[in-house]
Structure 1
Amino acid sequence: MTMTVLETERLILRPLTGDDFDDYAAMMADPQVADGLAEPVGRSADDAWRSLAVFIGHREIRGYSHWAVVERATGEFAGRAGPWRPHGFPGLGVGWCLARAHWGKGYATEAARAAIAYCFAGLDADEVISVIRPGNTRSVSVAERIGHRLLREIDYKGGPALVYGQRRGESPHS
């Protein structure tokens, strides 16, 4: 299935592929990366394989999924980000996960903004959410920078989660 490729000022957002596995596995092996995710994921190469396969499979089922986040200047894999709505998820979500070497560069914000615009324009979404574990202050900061506001708290995958989001036409800081 063909998936849209997006380009931002500093990033290329392209479909994840099996060729991303080594970089993806290295990112997921980092406990600071894996422990911050709303979806619990192990850190082994087998866990990373299954996680990558889920994103690729999601694209096959839904027609969209997280993209590989690639630095335009270097071609280096920086992480993944994009739209997401697996079975049981509380809405159309936008998520992000970056390798720690790429933290603090604004890439999560840049990729998430592009993904939200895609959700509203390309997927005709009425609302876009992000599900974040309490205590993940870095992701809360990204959610706030992209215009999401705290909507509610839920139980998700056996633990508390914060649902941030915005509706179509809302100003980013309504």
Structure 2
Amino acid sequence: MTSLLFETKRLQFRLMTTSDVENLLRIFSDSKAMVHYPSTKSKEETLTWIQWTLDNYRAYQVGMWIVEDKQTGAFLGQCGLVPQKIEGRIVLELGYLFLRSVWNHGYATEAATAVRNYAFHVLHVDEIISLIAPANNPSIRVAEKIGMTCEKEIEKWNKKILLYKLNRHERKEK
């Protein structure tokens, strides 16, 4: 059985496995890529992240997915849907995190667009959110490019976070 979920013009999305630890560590150990996160991650913490993702697959049928170059199969990053508890209810967060070496190639926007479409057209969810640090301008630009708007600032993970949101019924096709 293949773990391929879906594709775009340049990207393919597949389920994460424990064998992705070294590729994910290329992002998680990069202090510049992780500047808006609490800290970088060790190999052990990366394996914990993978296990958390696998648990999300089992419990919610979603999670972060591995994003690869469709032509070469090269690892580019991760993008997917993560269950988050916000104001007492579980909502799906569209998240994305890519290798710094592939930033500014449009991969995050292409991946986020594909995951947004998957959420709305395949999973039929009514809304998705993105939780973004106020200083994370590149992630804010991606969220806005796919139609999300900043709804409010919330307190999460002991810091202020912008809550971007998109409702399936209110969005304009892009």
- TM (norm. structure 1) is 0.90
5+ residue gaps, structure 2, are none
1:45 paired residue number: 43
Kindly state the Cα deviation for residue 36 of structure 1 after the two structures are TM-superposed. Answer: 2.4
Contact 2:27/2:33 (8 A) holds in 1:
yes
Separation of aligned partners in 2, 1:137 and 1:156: 18
Deviation at 1:64, TM superposition (A): 1.2
| Alignment-mate amino acid for residue 50 of structure 1 | T
3-state SS of 1:155 partner: strand
Corresponding letter in the other structure for 2:83: R
- Contact between 2:4 and 2:12, CA under 8 Å: does it hold in 1? no
Structure 1 residue 77 displacement after superposition: 0.6
Please give the secondary structure, in 2, of the residue aligned with 1:128: strand
d(CA) in 2 for partners of 1:3 and 1:122?
17
Contact in 2 for aligned 1:94/1:116 (Cα 8 Å)? yes
Count of equivalent residues: 169
Shift of 1:25: 1.0
Counterpart check, 1:150 vs 2:161: no
Say whether residues 1:25 and 2:4 are aligned partners: no
Alignment partners' CA distance in 2, 1:148 and 1:3? 29
Deviation at 1:169, TM superposition (A): 2.4
By how many angstroms is 1:35 displaced? 2.3
In 1, distance between residues paired with 2:116 and 2:76?
A: 19
Deviates more, 1:129-138 or 1:56-65: 56-65
* CA deviation map 1:20-67 (0-9, x unaligned): 111111211001122224xx4532112211112211221111111111
| Cα deviation, residue 111, structure 1 | 0.7
Q: Residue 150 of structure 1: CA displacement?
A: 0.5
After TM superposition, give the deviation of residue 89 of structure 1 in Å. Answer: 4.6
Q: Tell me, what secondary structure is at the counterpart of 1:33? A: coil
Q: 2:66 aligns with which of 68, 76, 87?
A: 68
Normalising by structure 2, we get a TM-score of 0.90
Task: Give a deviation string over 1:109-133, Cα, whole Å, max 9, x none.
Answer: 1111111111112222111110001
Partner of 2:112: 112
Whichever residue aligns with residue 105 of structure 1, its letter is H
Match in the other structure for 1:11: 11
Over 3 Å counting, the alpha-carbon distance change for 1:172 and 1:165 in structure 2 is farther
CA separation of 1:18/1:143 partners in 2, compared to 1, >3 Å: closer, same or farther?
same
Residue 4 of structure 1 and its aligned partner are, at CA, apart by 6.5
Task: Tell me which of the two structures has the higher relative contact order, counting C-alpha pairs closer than 8 angstroms and 6 or more residues apart.
Answer: 1
Is the alpha carbon distance of 1:97 and 1:147 closer, same or farther for their aligned partners in structure 2, counting shifts above 3 Å?
same
The 3 A distance-change label for structure 1 pair 125 and 4 is farther
| Structure in which a larger fraction of residues adopt strand | 2
Question: Percent identity at matched positions?
Answer: 31
Match of 1:55 among 53, 65, 69: 53
Q: Which amino acid aligns with 2:125?
A: A
